[in-house]
A and B are shown apart, each in its own frame.
Chain A
């Protein structure tokens, strides 16, 4: 008789205490081989060998491609040993030779090659995170997947060879070392696979196989600190205990446990196929398959016919010795299993189910002994019966009737398990509808027991956790590591660090990313068609608003676009909203637009920006409210601003009202910056004086705030300061004489520069407060900004003194001999003077804001994200309330 030894650290060795056990052929009870029986000391040695091999890197640090080459050799060696593996497996586990002879190729060699190849060419070992989803900070982040370490694989007795292939193959392909504990009644195939590993030169310690008693070895395998992962296939009772034990050292666990799967036969199924498929689903390997369809649910209309035919089919199944190629169904694995199955048959009878065939052990002619059991059918089963709820793990099927598809789903789901299942029907759509509703890991339609290297397998509910095979199964054998490299090796690279642990809240880093091309000057509108061409567009949607249509401005643009313009969307309100963006997007989709030209103030430009990103990324506007998420440019966008205020023609931002939430939402994305801005002063000439003043004060607020936030820097300071000077000098002229082209162009330039400045340095409290009253009381944005600005400057005076003193200079205040603080305060006074001069409103009450609403406004403004950038930290809504009262 053959003797098999343990395989530890690349050597075949006897158990340290010399223990040996015998393994038997369940088809005739004959002993097959003696096997060394591992004890705790052997398990310890195997775990430590696996750990050493893992840490040494001989396998774990090979490239996936190098490992794949070895796995291909391993696979070829398995193919070479096919017959030995097949016959040994059949004798050891009772599998029919017709199945075991295809196992080494189908479930071993092929799977090794498939998954090793996938791991070396397609598995995402390293993945760049293109958008981190952190709105505040920058850096490079990537994901690295690394092997876990020492993986224990505990294998059941029903498919010992297949399970050894799965657990060794996946673990090794992903760079791990393994300790395999085969089931004690079926230890041989795993040891032959270990031989194959040795022959092809898998490094010592990477594969270890230790047959032994689960009760004795389970504890050390599941609690040893050097074990990183346990992959167990077996009973739910043992799986539960393994999970508990693994929790002591927080090991990763995958469990593939029991099942009581429903195979649903619909009234439109092909009867012959339904019978054959359901019988295969139940009696394959004598029902000792965890995902077997042991509950056959049959639609009432065909129930009687099905039961009759199924009985005949079951009775025709040829039971015999497993090595005979004529055998349909071999023995159960052991006497204990025969007793277990028979016990359940007695339970079924007692519960009142109708035993229509089988239900007893069978003696096979010409063989003495053996563990054979007749294919057994219970009809009239209720799903509450134990034979419908507990996994019998033998050739016993329960047939249950059902009326409707919904009832079939309900019965299928009425189980603690969810491993497999099937639907038999000639209507695939109907079958798929059912398959989607059953809470289970695999559903086969018009098929059963179909596996593949790239098809994940595992369970819902008490059938387990995790998956085997496929990319999902391979993931289970890796750890995920994220590596972050700060873009700035400086504290200011981390907003939280500065905000929480530093007294100086200012962030010294800055990034200039202003990709918008600017065409400016008299007649620059004419460039629009060429820009469309350069951006690869040919179907342009012109976006504008009713005021601009009425003023004749939109028409000028449409004429310049000529044939490129395939549609005009002009239904944009002041302070745009999600619904408007969605309507415009729908129109753009219908017209198959490939370029957007927007002509208007901030409301139009922001709508267009949101349409561009929504068109590119799909869904509706609300799906595309993002802050640093975009990894690809949106649809090309050319902007022709008609107010000189928002700077939106160059900024990364779009501000969209969310009426349901009662807030303004921001899209803030570098990629949202329009491709081209055309600053043609003629486009702003029709803007009425009051609006000219209001929008210019928006630009002024951008400039002053960009100069004073916690993220200021010399480059944006330059733009901001010059913008302030241009506004101060040109606004009174443009208000007096709207047709003064020089003043208009200078204001447009100032607005664009202020937009660039705040894109780099952000805005702060005045904007938070303006957004709030804009949202809650529809105060036009520019006016709201202007009203807030001087008061917020005074609030910030001790936190931005130098900068505000510079503002005073730009505004033409004679600061000679003044202390800086006084100069800073003089800047605020000067702004108020300018506002009065140009007829800009000075109080919120002028816009119908109720005084009693100010308290709620202060809460709202405090929560506006831009308030975080204010130079003076805003400690409480009461401080904001105080400012609101001042401007009321």
Chain B
């Protein structure tokens, strides 16, 4: 069963953001706080470590730490990049907080 759901076009969006900045084609799923109370799931350009759970979609490596996977389960990634803001909404099988799916976050590079 796959850990990540990501459409081919959204995958292309992520890859083009990374390549525009000369970064390797790999992103980490992380917990990120944007202030006051609820932290949320986000993506960051990174290189995988040995212990990470890794999934590769069309040449894009997506990974997370096993404990995080244990807490959130499968993650679907959707781009809301219609205004060129490089923003994505991440929704997990086990919601990280009550606002899941409401707001988008930037791909941290």
Binding site for B on A (CB under 8 A): 156-158, 183-185, 213-215, 218-219, 233-238, 240-241, 256-260, 288, 290, 335-337, 339-340, 343-344, 390-393, 417, 462-463
Contact = CB atoms under 8 A, between A and B. Distances in A.
A286 to B, nearest CB: 13
Contacts of B101: 215
A218 B36 CA distance: 17
Contacts of A238: 34, 38, 99, 102-103
B36 A390 contact: no
Contact of B30 (A213, A235, A343): A343
Interface in B24-39: 30-39
B37 A235 contact: yes
Interface stretch (B2-10, B11-19, B52-60, B90-98): B90-98
B40 interface: yes
Nearest to A416: B35
B100 A215 contact: yes
A343 B99 CA distance: 20
B18 to A, nearest CB: 19
Given A339-B68, A340-B39, A215 B33 contact: no
27 contacts: A156-B37, A156-B38, A158-B37, A183-B37, A218-B102, A233-B36, A234-B36, A234-B37, A234-B38, A235-B33, A235-B37, A235-B38, A235-B39, A235-B40, A237-B40, A237-B103, A238-B99, A240-B103, A258-B34, A259-B35, A260-B35, A288-B37, A336-B71, A390-B33, A391-B33, A393-B39, A417-B35
B31 A235 contact: no
Contact of B35 (A218, A339, A391): A391
Contacts of A391: 33-36
Interface of B: 30-40, 67-68, 71, 95-105
B81 to A, nearest CB: 15
A183 B98 contact: yes
Contacts of A184: 98
A344 B37 contact: no
B37 A340 contact: no
Nearest to B70: A339
A126 B9 CA distance: 57
A184 B97 CA distance: 9
A290 B36 CA distance: 5
Contacts of A157: 37-38
Given A336-B71, A339-B31, A339-B67, A214 B36 contact: no
A335 B94 CA distance: 13
B104 A257 contact: no
A205 B40 CA distance: 34
Contact of A235 (B34, B67, B95, B104): B34
7 closest A-B pairs by beta carbon, nearest first, are A258-B35, A241-B103, A237-B34, A290-B36, A214-B99, A156-B37, A391-B35
Contacts of B95: 215
A260 B103 CA distance: 21
B34 A340 contact: no
A166 to B, nearest CB: 14
Contacts of B40: 235, 237
B36 A241 contact: no
A393 B96 contact: no
A256 B36 CA distance: 8
Given A235-B99, A238-B102, A241-B103, A337 B35 contact: no
A421 to B, nearest CB: 15
A392 B33 CA distance: 6
Contacts of A234: 36-38, 99
A97 B37 CA distance: 20
Contacts of A183: 37, 98
A772 B35 CA distance: 61
Contacts of B32: 390
Given A234-B38, A393-B37, A215 B31 contact: no
A720 B55 CA distance: 95
A339 to B, nearest CB: 6
A240 B104 CA distance: 9
Given A235-B34, A336-B97, A390-B32, 19 more contacts: A156-B36, A158-B37, A184-B98, A213-B98, A215-B98, A215-B100, A218-B102, A234-B36, A235-B33, A236-B35, A238-B102, A240-B103, A241-B102, A258-B34, A260-B35, A290-B37, A337-B39, A340-B33, A393-B39
B102 A215 contact: yes
A256 B102 CA distance: 18
Contacts of B67: 339
B36 A339 contact: no
Contacts of A343: 30-31, 68
A621 B66 CA distance: 73
Residue of A184, A219, A240, A336 with highest tally of chain B CB at under 10 A: A336
B105 A237 contact: yes
Residue of A157, A235, A417 with highest tally of chain B CB at under 10 A: A235
Nearest to A391: B35
A158 B97 contact: no
Contacts of B34: 235-238, 258, 390-391
B73 to A, nearest CB: 13
Nearest to A417: B35
B31 to A, nearest CB: 5
A332 to B, nearest CB: 11
A417 B30 CA distance: 21
Contacts of B98: 183-185, 213-215
Contacts of B102: 214-215, 218-219, 238, 241
Contacts of A241: 102-104
